[in-house]
Amino acid sequence: MVKGSENSMGNPLVAATAAKVISDNSPQIMKGVKTGSMIIAGAGLIYFGRKYLKKVAQNKLLRQAGTNPEVRAAVDIYQAIPDGLKKGQGGLFNPIGLARDAMNQVKRIWQRTDTDRILNVAKSIHTKNLDIDKVYRYFYKLYGEQLYLLLNTALEPGELAKFNNYSSSGTASSTPKISGQKYAVVKVNNLNVRKTPENMTWTQVFKKSNKIGTAPFGKVLGLTTGREVFDEEHNVVFVELNVWDTKYKAHIAYAWKGGLKFLTIPELQKEFNTNNYSEILRGKQVYRIDPDSLNGIEMITEGGIG
């Protein structure tokens, strides 16, 4: 069979017929080649045109970093993240980008996220009253990536929670901010309850103090307001609560966030093994403060957490 094929290829009649077919169809062949070339060239023009326009828009936005604090925040966060974690720039029309992406992956061996820089940006977002939504939008416009998804990769869960808490409320809590109203249950022994969100410590026997009570383990302390306060001097995050006194009157008070767990109504009922949460709130499961302690004068004793 192979031999026959070789003979047919050497047959002058076959060769002449093949040449005629090619000659007769050469306009169509050339048209196809031309069309394919135009499609490739057009795709290249669109790709590079879009890339150029995007680069122009990015550069225009980058020039605002000196005057626009939200743009500056987006740039600072991006610069604090290792290149290996960022979106790759390589592609069909950018082989150099592919090589650079490969090098960035190698750099991940020794590059680390600058967590302190990112958290400092988060602090400035709160202290300077910046618009966090604008920071997210500018980040996407500049780098084509979703900031939260990138932070989720670059930071540990506790660090990401700190970023969110710093930027939204100025607190340094490593746990997510308590949203809405939840029942706060004491999970440490003798948790201090305070009138103001400051971890006052005194050595004198009698002194003006913000401590208004000490709640034992397992007691319902109060209902969260959704507000958290960071005592930067003592590095303590306080949760603002509605608490009740022995006369069933409500007051605003503060307690160390780390000493509490926060439960919904179903979770509260499960915690105390009942189907009626109102029984819990009327019963001995609730810690009630002494109204006389609200005057802020007390005898300082050792003990208490937070």
Distance between CA atoms of residues 86 and 145, nearest Å: 8
Alpha carbon 305 to its chain's center = 30
Percent of the chain surpassing pLDDT 70 = 66
Which of 260, 285, 262 has its CA nearest to residue 274? 285
Distance between CA atoms of residues 71 and 67, nearest Å: 8
pLDDT of residue 176: 76
Q: 255: which residues sit within 8 A by CB, 6+ positions away? A: 184, 191, 192, 193, 194, 215, 221, 222, 238, 239, 241, 306
Q: 119: which residues sit within 8 A by CB, 6+ positions away? A: 159, 162, 163, 166
pLDDT of residue 53: 54
Q: Cα-atom radius of gyration of the chain, to the nearest Å?
A: 34
Q: Which residue has the tokens 């939260």?
A: 148
pLDDT of residue 10: 53
Average pLDDT of every residue of the chain:
77
Q: Are strands 220-231 and 206-208 parallel, antiparallel or unpaired?
A: unpaired
- Cβ burial of 159 (10 Å; 0-12, 13-18, 19+) is middle
Residue-wise pLDDT for 84-129, tens only, equals 777 655 455 455 555 555 554 555 555 789 999 999 999 999 889 9
> Hey, how many other C-beta atoms are within 10 angstroms of the C-beta on 248?
10
Helix (H) or strand (E) holding 218: none
Distance between CA atoms of residues 34 and 27, nearest Å: 10
Distance between CA atoms of residues 158 and 28, nearest Å: 65
Residue-wise pLDDT for 141-167, tens only, equals 998 888 988 898 888 888 888 888 888
Encoding tokens for residue 212?
A: 């208004």
pLDDT of residue 292: 81
Distance between CA atoms of residues 267 and 273, nearest Å: 10
> Hey, how many other C-beta atoms are within 10 angstroms of the C-beta on 119?
19
305 versus 125: the higher-pLDDT residue is: 125
Beta strands in the chain (DSSP E): 183-186, 191-194, 206-208, 211-215, 220-231, 236-245, 250-256, 260-263, 288-289, 297-299
Residue 23, by phi and psi: left (phi above 0), alpha (psi -120 to 50) or beta? alpha
Phi, psi of 216 (to 5 degrees): -75, 165
Q: Does the pLDDT value for residue 254 go beyond 70? A: yes
Q: Does the pLDDT value for residue 299 go beyond 90? A: no
Residue-wise pLDDT for 232-247, tens only, equals 777 788 999 999 999 8
Confidence label for 277 from pLDDT (cuts 50, 70 and 90): confident
Of how many residues is the chain composed? 306
Distance between CA atoms of residues 174 and 171, nearest Å: 9
Q: Specify which residues 297 forms β-bridges with.
A: 208
Encoding tokens for residue 304?
A: 């208490």
Q: Average the pLDDT over 175-184 and give the result.
A: 83
18 versus 270: the higher-pLDDT residue is: 270
268 versus 299: the higher-pLDDT residue is: 268
